[in-house]
A and B are shown apart, each in its own frame.
Chain A
């Protein structure tokens, strides 16, 4: 039954709770210093800074959530209307009032002795630079308006919502990635566009922001039926309708085109973007390697960084002229690489053997222990005569093929090298996935006993996963050492293992596309364990955001952003069986009624 509800038909308790949660989130972001720090970064001149973006989404989200009610199956959802807007506004207003109270508290009591970021900077940001009285009023109006906006997003039809969402999103993305967009414009030799879009003091001008928004709206409204997906489908259709000979010829053309793009990309990206791309590439390789162990063979390895360290230290110990152990002969990179690969595979098997019978969480902890042991050994005085202790090994020569040198400082050149490695590991992972070994890994992951009963040698399969994963990590490590030119134990902390794990889990375990997306989104945008990403402002809050993303993904989408079909089926298996059980129970009840 559809009903129009009176304007006051809502649960006061729910609304108050939502408002309080929104206020808590805003105050939290302010108290950890994010608001104050981000406020210096202008997104749209005299309209929006990154700081207000960081808190602005909260009333919108909570306004949306509070106005949206769970629809119960079998009952028509209530008609959306002014009541929803009122709910959203109330949530926003409550949030605004509580946040203002927090600002007032920070203004009257000096909290900086404990909460170090609650000083005048945060206070003036929370009151929009005004006095506490007028500022509070502004804050309440700000939150209320955004709450109403959030509720309005819920009230409007999905089409309108998506148009508004995409338009605002695009504008904000263009504003946030100002520095990188400028680089790109420079690469495309259209620097003029940047000076039109962005004001000289930083940020989009109001006019250009409005223009971009309007343009995206226009494209969304009039460009229906010409979107990228439609074009892709058409190309695919065209491709499949061709004869094999034509396809073969075309694949040559595609290959050549791909190679041309590969040659051009770093020139367009420019130096700093190439640097980011190299970091993303290295983490992508590590992610793909860890995916073989975790995603394919189903063994949660938290010490993966150990193999990365083995690769980096191996190359450094064999090629650097300043290696601490001078009795080791100095080799060329390409001679040293096979040795490093063999050593890494051996270490992989060495670590893999004791844990062969372990599963799940104990395996995770033991591998974590191995990772820590290896890092601490590289740091220790005991191994210092060979690996240099805390000082590490410096002057690792860069890679060169014939006359071409891939010097570490020249990130454009390194990009070429990393891209080849990424492509190679990608192809390897892809081929492994459906190979005999890959299928035996899948069986192993699903059920070890059954796999063994089917004749799979679990010992060999597991050790092979460890060895291949180790070799891939060592390759990334070797390239890392040659690129950076030095290795220190501090580059191989436990944190690196965890970050790689987060990358592949957020992207989607077992899904190669997913891992690529995960690496780009997390490492590229937010930044790696030590290196900054495109959003340099996030540096200090990077790992906090990593944590939030990881928790959110585990709660809402444990299969990842771009899941592999198999994996998501595994994860939702219990839900399916539960539903089946419920259905059965329902049938049973009906039967009873009949007999009664």
Chain B
């Protein structure tokens, strides 16, 4: 019986010595990971920098992307980014308050745009769309906001409230299920085909010279204006009203907020409602920009908007907007400039690769966002 014991003791000592050597080697090994991350960082900066440099040089030499095209791309990027920003607000607020990624937020956005499509169609059939576009826009905006708010609130009530105290990964997985459910509910109720919004009137499709020298399409101006107004409204709601203050308090610390007499459940519902309303606005902005919508439209913009929320700093509302615009610019300008400058063919097919690379790089290297997180949460990664 002595032999096995001996072997065992040997084993133990070897384990101990291994552990010691491991802890000594620990720094080195972590250093290896750090080195790899630095390599990626530098490579990404070099690639992007070189791409931009070359495409700028090409433009100045009169080849490649023209100055007009640059302007166009930048304006599109900002407009699309404003839309992402509106969507990012919902992620940012929910993550700030409950600490999980609401995957279904993209579907909330899609739902608003989908339902208001039918209203827009009806308005178009009655001729109101043509004769009084401002009124029509107002109506579909209200419909989209109400629909998205309703969906967001119902989802919170049915699926997220019972999971308030569950590990954070559980509501995340639930939200994937909700995402499936909402997508195929809309597909089942309204059909799987792509729906196209009626065209906006001519004066919106033409370019307007802003400040006398910058020609911008009317719809894009409209998108930016609507986003700006909503953003200002939201800012006042969160900063100046009692409900907004309650929201910030709950985001800071739920238990203390409850002790201060804040109705936490109601505040969380209002967070979802406000996030949903912003998603509804984003749905209309999407309709103005792209005009087509189907039941799977929501998912990818949703994920991208989450990137925007992280980029701006989770819980930072103005940051979400800035993050959205940065992402929109990156997606539009980056695709042509970086890949065009690098001479990679078929840059159009790589649009999503660009935005998802941005997502990965942001989450890996700057998880606190450009300005840092404003709202604290106990155990954020």
Please report A residues at the B interface, Cβ cutoff 8 Å: 28, 31-34, 113-117, 300, 353-366, 368-370, 372-373, 376-377, 379-382, 384, 389, 455, 457, 459-460, 494, 498, 501-502, 505, 540-541, 543-544, 546-551, 554-555, 558, 571, 574, 578
Contact = CB atoms under 8 A, between A and B. Distances in A.
Interface string B351-370: 01100110110011001000
Contacts of B189: 31-32, 115-117
Contact of B29 (A117, A368, A457): A457
A369 B159 contact: no
Nearest to A373: B356
B36 A32 contact: no
B183 A381 contact: no
B356 A544 contact: no
A362 B184 CA distance: 26
Which label, helix, strand, loop or mixed, suits the secondary structure of the A interface? helix
A294 to B, nearest CB: 9
A128 to B, nearest CB: 22
B42 to A, nearest CB: 14
A377 B354 CA distance: 10
Nearest to A359: B381
Contacts of A379: 349
B33 A382 contact: no
A361 B349 contact: no
Contact of A546 (B19, B167, B177, B357): B177
Given A360-B381, A363-B381, A382-B339, 15 more contacts: A358-B381, A360-B169, A361-B168, A361-B169, A369-B360, A376-B353, A379-B349, A380-B350, A382-B350, A384-B346, A541-B184, A543-B180, A547-B183, A571-B166, A574-B166
A73 to B, nearest CB: 21
Given A541-B184, A555-B159, A498 B33 contact: no
Nearest to B172: A361
B101 A455 contact: no
B345 interface: yes
Interface string B303-325: 10011001000000000000000
B33 A353 contact: yes
A369 B359 contact: yes
Contact of A555 (B118, B174, B180, B310): B174
12 contacts: A353-B37, A361-B169, A372-B352, A457-B29, A546-B177, A551-B159, A551-B174, A554-B163, A554-B171, A555-B163, A571-B167, A574-B166
A359 B37 CA distance: 17
A380 B346 contact: yes
Contacts of A494: 299
A379 B299 CA distance: 19
Contacts of B356: 369-370, 372-373, 376
A365 B359 contact: yes
Given A354-B40, A376-B356, A300 B169 contact: yes
Given A373-B353, A380-B346, A365 B184 contact: no
Given A365-B359, A541-B184, A555-B162, A547 B178 contact: yes
B19 A455 contact: yes
B185 interface: yes
Contact of A115 (B37, B183, B190, B344): B190
Contacts of B26: 457
A547 B184 contact: yes
Contacts of A358: 363-364, 367, 381
Given A356-B33, A369-B363, A544-B180, A362 B352 contact: no
A365 B306 CA distance: 9
Interface size band for B: 35 or more
Contacts of B50: none
Nearest to B36: A353
A178 B42 CA distance: 61
Contact of B346 (A363, A370, A382, A548): A382
Given A382-B345, A574-B165, A544 B181 contact: yes
A121 B353 CA distance: 44
Given A114-B118, A380-B346, A548 B101 contact: no
Contacts of B19: 455
In this complex, the member of B29, B174, B339, B360 whose beta carbon has the largest number of chain A beta carbons within 10 angstroms is B360
B170 interface: yes
Contact of A551 (B169, B181, B185, B299): B181
B116 to A, nearest CB: 12
B23 interface: yes
A376 B363 contact: no
Interface in B20-70: 22-23, 26, 29-30, 32-33, 36-37, 40
Given A358-B381, A505-B173, A551-B159, A455 B22 contact: yes
A116 B191 contact: yes
Nearest to B18: A455
B136 to A, nearest CB: 18
Contacts of B118: 113-114
B353 A459 contact: no
Contacts of A33: 188
B179 interface: yes
Nearest to A372: B356
Contacts of B36: 353-354
A362 B177 contact: no
Interface string B90-120: 0000000000110000000000000000100
Sorted from nearest, which 3 A-B pairs have the closest CB atoms? Answer: A381-B346, A32-B188, A550-B177
B7 to A, nearest CB: 16
In this complex, the member of A355, A548, A551 whose beta carbon has the largest number of chain B beta carbons within 10 angstroms is A551
Given A365-B101, A546-B180, A574-B165, A381 B349 contact: yes
Contacts of A356: 33
Contacts of B166: 558, 571, 574
Interface string B119-162: 00000000000000000000000000000000000000001001
Contacts of B190: 114-116
In this complex, the member of B184, B191, B345 whose beta carbon has the largest number of chain A beta carbons within 10 angstroms is B184
